[in-house]
Amino acid sequence: MKKRILFLLTAGLGLKSYAQNTATLTVSNNSKDTISRNIYGQFAEHLGRGIYGGFWVDKTLPVAKQDRIRLDVVNALKKIKIPNLRWPGGCFADEYHWRDGIGPRPQRPKMINTNWGGVVEDNSFGTHEFLELCQLLGCEPYISANVGSGTVQEMSNWVEYLNFDGESPLTNLRTQNGHPKPFNVHFWGVGNESWGCGGNMTPEHYSDEYRRYASFAKNYNNAKLKKIACGPNASDYNWTETCMKNIGPGRMWGLSLHYYTLPTGNWSDKGSSTNFGEAAYFNTMKNCLQMEELVTKHSAIMDKYDPQKKVALVVDEWGVWTNVMPGTNPGFLFQQNSLRDALVAATTLNIFNNHCDRVKMAALAQCINVLQALIITDKEKMLLTPTYYVFDMYKVHQDARYLPVKLNAPEYEYEGKKILAVNVTASQDAAGKVHLTLANLDAHNTIAVSTEFKDIAWQAVTGRVLTSAKVDDINTFEKPYTLIPKTFTGARKEGDKLVINMPAKAVVELELN
């Protein structure tokens, strides 16, 4: 079985493994596929300090705000060009009733967040606040509708309230609430994790529910819906098969996939986000690479029913999930963010980019203060994590033309187990510049990558690198710049080839002019 998994990982990335510290890379110019910017999406659930205390802060907090939206957070996310933001969940979505979050805030009913800590929510952050946030961010909203405890009419009304440009009781209500013009929200998730917290449904039952809900979620002028069906949990291939067969490609824009990288592989004790050694690091990277197998196998099933690849694979929950930081609320899912997390992010994004013919959208879990966060806040303080900087380095791929790669790479071995040490993405932007992003997972060895370009002319190379002394190094409020991208001088032109000296445990971004 292990040999088969290694084969799938190798075949999917166009890789071949051999035991040495050099690699060869060929970049071709024969693809018409585009790496969708929506692969770089983010997730903001009503969970812990993700919304309240993250995006939405107390009016007395001494930071720049628009209403109660924190603007230093907004500006940091604008810098990395996040393309979409998924809300309100997650498991929270299937207990959320949108009417509770509109209208005058003092009149909004309070609710219990039964999934995450049992805290009371005052619903001061609702639909209008979320869409104002998306406008400030310059990103598209992605709304997850309530299928688990909601109704068909509830979702239908929400779509009409946001998207109908005409006269109706719901549009009159929207006008009363300060927004006469429609919001034109295109991305809609029809339920979340319906196999679990969203209803514990069978795929057959969910498929029927999806068809019913989707039938009454209407397209209005300038707002054709991109409906995303709840897809499988990790390796539940039967769920994908059933949904593709029973829903059919013509009824959905996308099918979701959720997969979290657990350092231990054990949900009851996932491992620490800060105190870990090489064994936990190696196992985390090994588990991260399972994303390649999942995307490959689910895509193959989708190809049976949708050979033209019209349905997007939407990996709208992914990232590292560890034990919470000691002393914090276990329901708030707060963890730190290390160089290991950055290497997981880089590797996962490379996998998505290399499957851009099918993977059209994704969302890291989560944006602020929860799980593998881009940003951590503490009252007025704000901290950018190593994962944030990976998204900053990788933004060059957004909407760029994918360039196929063939990589012969060495293996990183630990206690008799092996994984491929290097992974890579190549693309060409609208200005003709070629970008490479590489991750070296080997904790010890520099790897020399000799790169050949097919039908691609270039003259000069510049780059940035993200690395640190230890894989468990983190940024803190006291030392916020331990892990930041720095100028990379380890790439040079030798004849027609590019030679890259990839440092151990590092992410590198290169631009060829």
Task: Write out the catalytic residue numbers.
Answer: 193, 317
Residues 321 and 483: beta-carbon distance below 8 Å = no
Residue 501 C-beta-side C-alpha neighbours within 13 Å: 8
Let me know the angle formed at the C-alpha of 470 by 466 and 476, rounded to the nearest 5 degrees: 75
Integer Rg of the chain from CA: 22
DSSP assignment of 209-230 equals HHHHHHHHS--BTTB--EEEE-
Report d(CA 430, CA 68) in Å as an integer.
37
Query: 152 in helix, strand or coil?
Result: helix
DSSP assignment of 292-357 equals HHHHHHHHHHHHHH-TT--SEEEEEEEEE--PPPTTS-TTS-----BHHHHHHHHHHHHHHHHTTT
Let me know the angle formed at the C-alpha of 404 by 418 and 503, rounded to the nearest 5 degrees: 45
The token duo for 368 is 């602020």
- Sequence-distant (≥ 6) Cβ neighbours of residue 104 within 8 angstroms: none
Q: Is the dihedral of CA 24, 433, 510, 494 positive or negative?
A: positive
Residues 435 and 511: beta-carbon distance below 8 Å = yes
Report d(CA 58, CA 54) in Å as an integer.
10
Report d(CA 294, CA 232) in Å as an integer.
10
Peptide bond preceding 263 in cis form (omega within 30 of 0): no
Residues 421 and 412: beta-carbon distance below 8 Å = yes
Report d(CA 484, CA 389) in Å as an integer.
7
Query: 423 in helix, strand or coil?
Result: strand
CA distances from 485 to 75, 336, 343 (A): 18, 19, 13
Report d(CA 73, CA 49) in Å as an integer.
13
The label of the residue with tokens 């970049």 reads: 27
Task: Give the residue among 410, 391, 423 at the shortest CA–CA distance from 285.
Answer: 423
Residues 47 and 92: beta-carbon distance below 8 Å = yes
